[in-house]
Each structure stands twice: as C-alpha cells, then as structure tokens.
C-alpha cells in the first residue's frame, strides 16, 4: 500500500484510513507492507503491518515532491518484491498516484486506487497547478484496475469528473476503530478548555475553506445569544488559521473560541469524549470521518447536508443536518441540540450504535478485499 501520510505523519483523514485498513487486513491474515513518507529511511512494524519510511527531497512544490517520493517508493517496492512477491498495489489519492502507477507498470501488478477527495471539490481547478493535480487524479482512475470512492455522492462526483468505466467504480465508506476511543486512557484537563458551566462545541479538522470554519465562526454569535454556555474549541491547523483567528477577534469572540492547534491522537480522542457536541460545517466533504468519530465517542454531531455527511448522519437520530455554507443554519441546529441535553445525549448514544453496526473496519476490509479480488481478476 502506498500513501504519503501514515501516522504519525498526518494531515487529513488518509493517514487514519490507511492505518486502520492495514491493521484490519493484517488481522485477516494478509501480508501488508506500507510505503509511506518518513524523514529517514527505516522499517517499522506495528500489529503485523510493516511500514517502510521513505524520504523525498527538496522540491519547489508538493507535486514535484510527490513525484520524487513516488520514484523512491517504487525502487523500495522492487527490492521488497524480490523477497516477498506482491500480488497487488493499493494507492491513495493523487499524491500516491506516481508511486502506485510506477509500481503497477514495473512489477506488472493490479492497481487499486482509493480516491478520498478531488482537487475540483477541495479548491477548484483554476490554474496549471490545480489542473495538474486534477490530471493526476484522472490518471489514477485511468490506470487503476479498480477504483474505490469513499462516499455515495462522492462516487457520482468521480463518475462525472473522470468518466471511468462503470465496472471499475466502487463505493466503500470509511470506518472507525471504536476500540481506539474506548481504550484511550489519556484525559485532557477540561479546565484548560472551558469553564465548569460551559458546554464544549468541538470542531476537528483542517482549518480551510473546505471545512467551513468561517461559517462556524459566523454562526457562533447567534449560538451564544441563545446558549451563552457554549464554548467553541477549534482543533486542528491549516493554511487559513490566521484568517480564522482574526475573524474570531473581529467578532469579539476571543473568550468563547479557543484554537488548540494540532492535537496528538490521544489528546484528540480524549477531546471528543470531553466535548458535548461535535460540529462539521463542511462546504465539501467526500466522506467526513468526523461523523463516525463523534459516534464512537457517543457525541451528537451537527454536520452539513453534503457529500458523505448526508449518509453518515441520520437527521434527528444520530445528529442534525445543517445547510452547507449557511451560518444561520449551523447556528439554528447547534441551538436545537444545545437546548435539549437529554435529546443530545440520546443522539450521541444512537450514533455510537450506528457506528458499531455499519462502520467497523472488519466489515470495510471485507468489502475492500472483494475489490482486490476484482482487480486481480479472481472473480472474472
């Protein structure tokens, strides 16, 4: 499996996805090697998954950096293949495409490509650089024997953008490892984040336009008017962090909004459990793993009715849907949840039940190995 990000290197949800999927594959008896970025070349072993860390080089931009990394990953794959014959290569998102396609061509292996989001959806295709990323996504879908998309709506997006043959296109949702939440013994000190009487409204994600942080900040005054006990915790980092901090200041919300920056895994898991409600005001969200994480932590979620959140949140059952890019709607749904503690807690418990039933990694891994079989021509 090739992925640039694998814990502890983590920017978006791909690192967690690859971590959980690889461990579940290993539990099922598959021999899994991960080729992932690292600042020095070394091999690690976790839970029967072998992780080969590969450095890249100085490059002027992320695309060139990923190209060079891909070339080095490919050479590593050849070395490993001589000892431990691979049967398939599985790559993730455009940054994994150079390595994935290179390995496919050199070792004559079937290629599975999981696409987690598109450049078109994230920032739009508006210059040569974004066009190149869009082209790499297309190239991945073109060269892959099978494509996995992580959301039903998103599957349509990929279909309409890249026009792959229908028999190559699959939809498999993300999963969540509930045990990671249940077994986390680390506890953040709630007093560092909120006063005793305050209720924590938690946002976790990259601080970018795509995640709708601006809409949340603009919703905050309307929430505080009705629910003055709300305290907004913004966990994560991103290119737009400074802008959002300035926006919070201009809205005079300094004491009601806390930017925590990047949280380590154990802090993040504890933060979910410490919060009262989770919010995901995304403008674009192919899957939205945060809805599963809130469920695993037994917390209700207010999330945009967009992409994967349409299916992962059941409105008024496991959480509430707000309209995308609509701060008033975000405020309205947060106020509904904050005004009825019992209902909010019930939605959290029901979210947990749904996650336990439909989004376990064992189930998702079974579907994924089914796609591997299709790619390898086993069921043709």
Partner 1 sequence: MQKQVKMIKKILILTGRYQENETVFDYCKNLAQFLGNKNIETHIICFDDYTSDETADRFHLHKISFMLDGNNLFNWTMLMNNEIKRKARELFESIDFDVIHVNDWTAAPAGMTIAKLTGKPLILTLHSTEHERGFMKETSEVISSVEWWATYEASHVFVHNPRTVESVKEHLKLPEGKVTVLNTKHENWQEKIEEVYEMVIN
Footprint on this chain of partner 1 (rule: CB under 8 A): 57-61, 63-65, 67-68, 70-71, 74-75, 78-79, 98, 101-102, 105-108, 128-129, 131-132, 135, 139
207 phi and psi angles, rounded to 5 deg: -90, 80
Three-state SS at 160: helix
For residue 165, how many other CB atoms are within 10 A of its CB?
Answer: 9
Query: How is residue 346 written in tokens?
Result: 């019930």
To partner 1, the closest distance from the beta carbon of 107 in angstroms equals 8
Of 78 and 378, CB closest to partner 1? 78
Handedness of CA 25, 29, 30, 32 (dihedral sign): positive
To partner 1, the closest distance from the beta carbon of 80 in angstroms equals 11
Query: How is residue 89 written in tokens?
Result: 């290569």
Of 67 and 313, CB closest to partner 1? 67
Of 27 and 71, CB closest to partner 1? 71
To partner 1, the closest distance from the beta carbon of 140 in angstroms equals 11
Phi-psi region of 323 (alpha: psi -120 to 50; beta: other; left: phi over 0): beta
Of 134 and 365, CB closest to partner 1? 134
Of 123 and 314, CB closest to partner 1? 123
Query: Taking a C-beta distance cutoff of 8 angstroms, is the pair 141, 159 a contact?
Result: no
To partner 1, the closest distance from the beta carbon of 31 in angstroms equals 20
Crossing angle for the helix pair 341-358 and 327-338, nearest 10 degrees? 100
To partner 1, the closest distance from the beta carbon of 243 in angstroms equals 27
Of 81 and 363, CB closest to partner 1? 81
130-152 burial, b if ≥16 CB within 10 A, otherwise e? Answer: eebbbbbbbbbbbbbbbbbbbbe
Query: How is residue 370 written in tokens?
Result: 């089914």
Sequence-ordered alpha helix ranges (H) in 144-199: 152-162, 178-183
CB-count exposure of residue 92 (10 Å: 0-12, 13-18, 19+)? buried
To partner 1, the closest distance from the beta carbon of 39 in angstroms equals 16
Cβ neighbours of residue 44 under 8 Å, at least 6 residues apart?
Answer: 50, 51, 53
278 phi and psi angles, rounded to 5 deg: -110, 145
Of 75 and 242, CB closest to partner 1? 75
To partner 1, the closest distance from the beta carbon of 103 in angstroms equals 9
To partner 1, the closest distance from the beta carbon of 271 in angstroms equals 38
Of 65 and 323, CB closest to partner 1? 65
Of 132 and 263, CB closest to partner 1? 132
Crossing angle for the helix pair 128-143 and 62-83, nearest 10 degrees? 20
């Amino acid at each position: 499996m090739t992925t640039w990000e694998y814990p502890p290197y983590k920017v978006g949800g791909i690192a967690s996805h690859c971590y959980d999927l690889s461990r579940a594959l290993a539990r099922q008896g598959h021999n899994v090697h991960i080729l992932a970025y690292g600042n020095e070349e070394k091999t690690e072993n976790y839970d029967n998954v072998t992780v080969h860390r590969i450095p890249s080089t100085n490059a002027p931009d992320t695309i060139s950096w990923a190209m060079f990394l891909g070339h080095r990953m490919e050479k590593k794959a050849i070395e490993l293949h001589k000892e431990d014959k691979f049967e398939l290569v599985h790559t993730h998102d455009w940054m994994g495409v150079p390595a994935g396609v290179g390995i496919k061509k050199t070792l004559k292996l079937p290629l599975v490509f999981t696409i987690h989001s598109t450049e078109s959806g994230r920032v739009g295709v508006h210059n040569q650089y974004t066009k190149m990323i869009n082209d790499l996504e297309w190239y991945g879908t073109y060269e892959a024997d099978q494509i996995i998309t992580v959301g039903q709506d998103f599957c349509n997006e990929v279909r309409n953008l890249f026009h792959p043959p229908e028999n190559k296109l699959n939809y498999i949702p993300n999963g969540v490892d509930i045990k990671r939440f249940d077994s986390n013994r680390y506890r953040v000190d709630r007093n560092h984040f909120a006063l005793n009487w305050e209720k924590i409204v938690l946002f976790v994600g990259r601080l970018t336009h795509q995640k709708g942080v601006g809409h949340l900040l603009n919703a905050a005054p309307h929430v505080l008017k009705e629910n003055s006990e709300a305290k907004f915790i913004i966990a994560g980092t991103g290119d737009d962090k400074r802008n959002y901090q300035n926006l919070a200041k201009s809205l005079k919300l300094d004491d009601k909004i806390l930017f925590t920056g990047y949280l380590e895994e154990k802090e993040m898991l504890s933060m979910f459990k410490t919060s009262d409600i989770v919010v995901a005001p995304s403008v674009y969200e192919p899957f939205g793993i945060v809805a599963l994480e809130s469920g695993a932590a037994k917390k209700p979620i207010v999330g945009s009715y967009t992409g994967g959140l349409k299916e992962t949140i059941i409105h008024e059952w496991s959480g509430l849907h707000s309209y995308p890019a609509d701060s008033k709607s975000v405020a309205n749904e947060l106020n509904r949840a904050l005004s009825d503690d019992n209902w909010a807690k019930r939605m959290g418990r029901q979210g947990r039940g749904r996650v336990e039933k439909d989004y376990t990694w064992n189930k998702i891994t079974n579907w994924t190995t089914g796609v591997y079989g299709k790619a390898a021509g086993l069921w043709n």
